[in-house]
Structure 1
Amino acid sequence: MKFKQWIIGLISIMLAVTLVACGTDSNGNNDEVKEKLVVQFVPTNNDGSMEAKAKPFAEYLSKQLDREVEVTLATDYSTIVEAMSSNQVDIGIMPPAAYVQAKDMGKAEAILTSQLGAYDKETGLPLEGELTNTFKGEVLVRSDSDIHSLLDLKGKRIATLSPNSASGYIYPVAEMKDAGIDPTTEATLTTVNDIPSEITAVLNGQMDAAFVFEGARNVFASSFGNNDLFEELRVLYLTEGDIPNDAIAVSTDMDEALKEQVKQVFLDMKNDEEGAEAMSLWNHQGYQEAADSAYDTVRHYTDQVLE
């Protein structure tokens, strides 16, 4: 009898453990508790507005993926690489150079690449209805500046983003070297937090030029209500090299079924209002299948900068 009671007790414990590992939905059905996903991205500006927008994005992904999703902001380009490499982040919306670093560490896999609105190379204005998988780096100066070529930047003060930024550092530095001037030794490079800060520094004369991404004047025009960025700033130079858009990258530890689910959610975003609003965090207008080879150009340019 005691043995029988012991067996019954053991079975009860096993059932209790099983129930703890399961969740109960609103209908009273038991389902396996799904692990929380952490998503991280690099904000385009640091004025605090991106934090507020991240919450509805987290809610949107939670609903679509049927699990808790936490969305965090990277403090700069290097921290998202560190977060991916230390397995603190499951999904990264990663700038191209940051993705390449995480990929080469064996910690990130691009499942999609973003699509952006294309820009007219002459006017800097958006091309209605046209999308692109690449963009250019842009060097901005004041419209009344006497700087008219890359060589004129010798001895000048240049605002840049992190050395891990493709358009905000890597591509313009590499192409300036090709043109015969090494800005790391023949100009004064100052790293600032974000593109609005770069633009402000050029407008007020603290800096002579700024390295930004193509279309930056259009993207941030609303942040400068007292300035007409198209009147007060001009594009000195567009990089010859095309920069691949942001990668939607997942941890290499993610199982295939979840990876496919994440991919489909991002592919479907443009088809509903909530999804389109979520994409607007980074000005993304859609997603396509990613080829890692598309990011080889970033590796090439990075090597040029390091030479």
Structure 2
Amino acid sequence: MIKFRFKLAALGALALTGTLALSSCGVSQDAADSASGGANSAVACTGTNDSSAAAPTKLTLALVPSGDAKKLVDTVKPLEDALTSRLGIPVTGVITADYQAAVEAIGANQAQIGMLPSLQMSQACDKYGAAPALQTVRKDKSSYAAQMFTNNPDKYCTDTPAEGPNGMLYCNGTASGNGSAGLDSVAKIKDATVAMLSPASPAGYIFPVAAMKAAGVAVEDVSPIKVTANDASVLAVYKGDAEVGFSYWDAREVVAKDNPDVGSKVVVFALTDEVPNDGVSISSKLSSDWQKKISDAMLDFADTPEGVKALTAIYQITGMKLADPESLRTTQEAARSIGLG
């Protein structure tokens, strides 16, 4: 169990177990569906607010580890301090065990701000009216490709692996990081041992499994190794525990800090369709004024050199922009295509 550095024992116990009582949520499913048109509506959910809500005296920010949780604990402090300074009230970060725990923490008003993947931003909006306020930017992009990589390039590469701009090996046209590419090789995954994240992960499961399905390969056709983070997926392939792995592009760069040869031993051979970037969701239990204050504070911090440094350390974020709720539906559609959501 992940322990919190922060003094939030009550939230920690609930968020880590993922057993938040839905009956405690202030925004009902019916209310959220009414505001958004419903989870399956053609209208993207934009969230709700509470015009009668009193000004908060403190705020909790929920984060989910995409890599080493202990490192995330160490790197979130500058963001806490920046938001506290800009908003004039204490803002405390808490690390949840998984994506869904963060969504339920927002639903139960145990967290008012969540840094969530695209699917969970939509879910938090559909279920609890949480406003999808911001999306992250990385290298001037607000979307990314999920990648498939291997320690057996002779099987999956139709050309000779070559170094990309970061010095790591790519094949099948994947060096740009722009999806899609190399999908003709996905059918070769059948019968392989594959490292994948939980079904809640867009890059570590949803988009790669959707690509597998399109190539005629079901999850039942492979031997899955469940991992808890993107860097763990890379490490599983690096160490030979799996032949293929899934992650965001390019999670090898995180692993390379401790394993410099990962870029030569693990080769990216396929990229999925583009995945909408993660972002910031804000509780519907706040007034619209406070939702905007929080959004503005995050945008302001992200536009400073110290903000870029802090956010890069947390989630490799180089900027933030106002969210595009419609783009978030791409992940929902991919999830539904494989029977999720």
Shorter-normalised TM range: 0.7 to 0.9
Q: Which runs of 5+ in 2 are unaligned?
A: 1-53, 158-184
CA displacement 1:192-251 (0-9 Å, x = unmatched): 111222112111211011110012122432132xx4222111112100x21111121101
Per the alignment, residue 283 of structure 2 pairs with 251
Of structures 1 and 2, the larger Rg is shown by 1
1:176-199 per-residue CA deviation (whole Å, 9 max, x = no partner) reads 1011111x2100122211122211
Q: Superposition pairs for residues 159-238 of structure 1, below 5 Å? A: 159-182=195-218, 184-224=219-259, 227-238=260-271
Does 2:305 correspond to 1:269?
no
% same residue: 25
Counterparts of residues 280-295 of structure 1 (less than 5 Å) = 280=312, 281-295=314-328
CA distance in 1, matches of 2:70, 2:105: 21
Local SS of the residue matching 1:242: strand
2:109 matches 1:108: no
2:96 matched to which residue of 1?
Answer: 74
SS in structure 1 opposite 2:66?
coil
8 Å CA contact retained: 1:98, 1:165: no
Distance 1:273 1:205 in 2: 39
Q: Give the Å deviation of 1:277.
A: 2.7
Offset of 1:107 from its aligned partner? 3.4
Q: Specify the code of the residue in structure 1 equivalent to 2:61.
A: V
Deviates more, 1:52-61 or 1:296-305: 52-61
Distance (whole Å) between structure 1 residues aligned to residue 202 and residue 266 of structure 2:
21
Quote the Cα distance in structure 2 between the aligned partners of 1:261 and 1:244. 24
Conservation of the 8 A alpha-carbon contact between 1:139 and 1:211: yes
Cα distance in 1 between the residues matched to 2:322 and 2:304? 19
User: Once the 2 structures are TM-superposed, how far is the Cα of residue 132 of structure 1 from its aligned partner?
Assistant: 0.4
Which one has the bigger strand percentage?
1
Structure 1 unpaired stretches of 5+: 1-31, 118-130
- Please say if residues 60 and 274 of structure 1, whose CA atoms lie closer than 8 Å, have aligned partners that are also in contact: no
- TM-score after normalising by structure 1: 0.80
Please name the residue that 2:164 is paired with.
Answer: none
Q: How high is the TM-score relative to the length of structure 2?
A: 0.72
SS in 1 for 2:282: strand
Give the whole-Å Cα distance in 2 for the aligned partners of 1:144 and 1:179.
19
Contact 1:115–1:287 (Cα < 8 Å) also in 2: yes
Q: How many residues align?
A: 259
For 1:33 and 1:229, locate their aligned partners in 2 and report how far apart those are by CA, in whole Å.
49
| Corresponding residue SS for 1:222 | coil
Task: Tell me the equivalent position of 1:134.
Answer: 143
Do 2:69 and 2:95's aligned partners in 1 also have CA atoms closer than 8 Å? no
Q: Do the aligned residues in 2 keep the contact of 1:115 with 1:285 (CA within 8 Å)?
A: yes
For the aligned residue pairs, the C-alpha RMSD in angstroms reads 1.8
After superposing on structure 2, the runs of 4+ consecutive aligned residues of structure 1 that deviate more than 4 Å are none
